[in-house]
Amino acid sequence: MMSSRVQIGVEHPKYKWLALSNTTLGMLLVTINSSIVLISLPAIFKGIDLNPLSPGNVSYLLWMLMGFMLVSAVLVVPFGRLGDMIGRVRTYNLGFVVFTVAAVLLSFDPFQGGPGAIYMIALRVVQGVGGAMLMANSTAILTDAFPVKQRGMALGVNMVAAIAGSFLGLVLGGVLSEWDWRAVFWVSVPFGIVGAIWSITSLKETGEKVPGKIDWIGTLTFAVGLIVLLTAVTYGIQPYGGSNTGWTNPWVLSGLIGGFVLLIAFCIVETKVKDPIFHLELFKNRAFGLGNLASWMASIGRGGMQFMLIIWLQGIWLPLHGYSYESTPLWAGIFLVPLTIGFLVAGPIAGWLSDHYGARWFATGGALLVGATFIALVLIPVNFPYWLFALLILLSGVGSGLFSSPNTAMIMSSVPAQQRGAASGMRATFFNSGSAISIGLFFSLMVVGLANTLPSAMHHGLVSHGVSAGVADNVSNLPPVGMLFAAFLGYNPMQQLIPASELNKPGVDAHTLTGQEFFPHLMSGPFHSGLVVVFVTAGVMMLVAALASYFSPKSYTPDETTADAADAADVEIVEETVDVSPDVQGEVAAAAGPTGARL
């Protein structure tokens, strides 16, 4: 009887923890960089000598924020599919390298003014490409590495890292930009280098590769459709003609309609091609479909909350409490720490509990708690006592933690193993596109709220301090989005908006007008009007997320195809060489599993 050589190998029990720690680092890097620029923009604009309040520079500001988010949203699905085909770890490793190289180049901007801004926007786009590779495959790597009974905890930690990174980025951005604006990008370099070397040398392909071809038609219709749609949202924020926003701009309307039509075409294409990048049949699974709906709604609501809290602190509350405009990014980050603490505490606990008691009630309760804090924030005064504000954002962080970990486990554990990369990319698309859409949606809602009350309040405030009616008319009729960006960036715009010749006239109280408290006091009433619109809308979105979570199945279908991963992850690596007859080779291969046998 003929014999052959076979090696039987099974993963070391420590591998799953190595995979968790490395993918957690990767997710932290990506999401920290998605928000670190948000709070550092004042220092960045000063560093490259760019006036953010000049009309032509508003686009630079928006694209510094949106470029990274847009590319991440567009590319996570194609990179998830690529991971299924060529290996999730291989695609993930490449993402670490691309992300780190972009971080290095970002920290050495050789230009000033507009060219400097364009340089940074281009490299933020490249960084978004690397970030998409990391996000699309990290959850799939974890789902392969962990058994079903521990998957909720692992995915929960990973999702906590993703969302906590967006909160931590606010704190780090505030602290680092106070030192040097380049430090905002320097901080990613050493962690990126270590993470890339670590992942390349340690992570192994434990999942099943799915051979196939890239769906180029689907990829192009999806990418172009989403880019056009989100670009239209970006320009919809900016004034057009005599309107405070650009939603009546023919180009914006064309982009919205064209992007929507292309995404419909994409859905049709995906039902016809052999190897789709977007597995629409997954949405027949109630846990997957409702889980992604809940995640998308929560992502939009949470993104809106971050923007409004930054504007609230930097533009109004901190100046009213004696903090200089130059220091507001630092202190805004510090005063938002309770939000991060609540999330970091609740997220891992919720992940562990959902493994034992199911995800539905935790996700539902967490979304309801976040929505309740949104309504409560509307009810407190604009010049609030800090302890009350801190308590509310702490509870909001707890609610986000309770929701996010179980929601991620629900989505990822409901798909078959061979589609995890694509499913991970689909989940990340909803998450990232929600963050991008929140910018356009909530800025527009705030502008609508300001437009009703800000012009009259500003006109009255200027005239009462000696400014002539003509100048007051000109200033008060400026688009509210300019005032909103001033508050967002922690700028006092009065000295720039009121001509120097007017400030030097007898009877004009120039000291008060250009002082620290006039603009925040002026903005307080109109800002609260906008705040009501924004937070009520965000609260409704969290209610939708809660309902979607509640109507999800009590138990989602675990992956039937990878019971091997559940058991193999707890067994130490064993390498043996044995003589096996051809008659029993099939039995050996079946016992070893697809990742353990090599004939």
The confidence score (pLDDT) of residue 375 equals 93
Residue 421: in which H helix or E strand, if any? helix 420-464
* Residue 86: CB atoms within 10 Å: 16
Sheet hosting strand 576-580, strand order edge to edge: 576-580, 4-8, 597-598
Burial class (CB in 10 A: 0-12, 13-18, 19+), 227: middle
Cα 349 from Cα 32, distance rounded (Å) = 22
Contacts of 201 (CB under 8 A, 6+ apart): none
Crossing angle (nearest 10°) for helices 386-412 and 148-179: 140
Q: Which helix (H) or strand (E) holds 168?
A: helix 148-179
Does residue 113 form part of some domain?
A: no
488: left (phi over 0), alpha (psi -120 to 50) or beta: alpha
Q: Which residues pair with 577 in a beta bridge?
A: 7
Quote the DSSP letter at residue 551: T
What phi and psi, each to the nearest 5 degrees, are found at residue 6? -135, 140
HSE, CB side, 13 Å, CA atoms: give it for residue 417.
Answer: 23
Give the integer Cα–Cα distance in Å for 134 and 128: 10
In a domain, 155, yes or no: no
Backbone conformation region of residue 466, classed left if phi is above 0, alpha if psi is from -120 to 50, else beta: left
User: What is the phi/psi pair of residue 384, to 5°?
Assistant: -80, 160
**519 with 574, same domain?**
no
Specify the pLDDT at position 367: 93
Classify residue 54: in a domain, yes or no: no
Residue numbers in the chain where pLDDT is lower than 70: 1-12, 52-56, 152-153, 156, 207-212, 244, 417-422, 425, 486-491, 554-599
pLDDT at 53: 65
Identify whether residues 516 and 468 lie together within a single domain: yes
Rounded CA-CA distance 543/486 in Å is 32
Instruction: Provide the number of structural domains found in the chain.
Output: 3
Coil, strand or helix at 7: strand
The answer to whether residue 458 is domain-embedded is yes
285 within domain boundaries = no
- Residues 84 and 91: their CA atoms lie apart, in Å, by 9
Is residue 489, in this structure, part of any structural domain at all?
A: yes
The pLDDT of residue 126: 92
pLDDT at 77: 77
Kindly report, residue by residue over 330-343, the tens digit of the pLDDT: 788 889 889 888 88
Note the pLDDT tens digit of each residue in 331-374: 888 898 898 888 888 877 887 777 777 778 888 999 999 999 99
Last residue of a domain, one of 254, 274, 294: 274
- Of 258, 274, 290, the last residue of a domain is 274
In whole angstroms, give the CA distance from residue 184 to residue 424: 28
Who's near 260: CB < 8 A, 6+ residues apart? 225, 229
Residue type present at position 88: R
Supply the pLDDT for residue 55: 61
Q: For residue 56, what pLDDT is reported? A: 65
Query: What pLDDT is stored for residue 546 in this prediction?
Result: 94
Same domain, 580 and 516: no
Is residue 454 domain-shared with residue 519, that is, in the same domain?
A: yes
The reply to whether 226 falls in a domain is yes
Using the 3D structure, point to which of 464, 493, 523 is the last residue of a domain. Answer: 523
476 inside domain: yes
Structural domain containing residue 577? 4-8+563-598
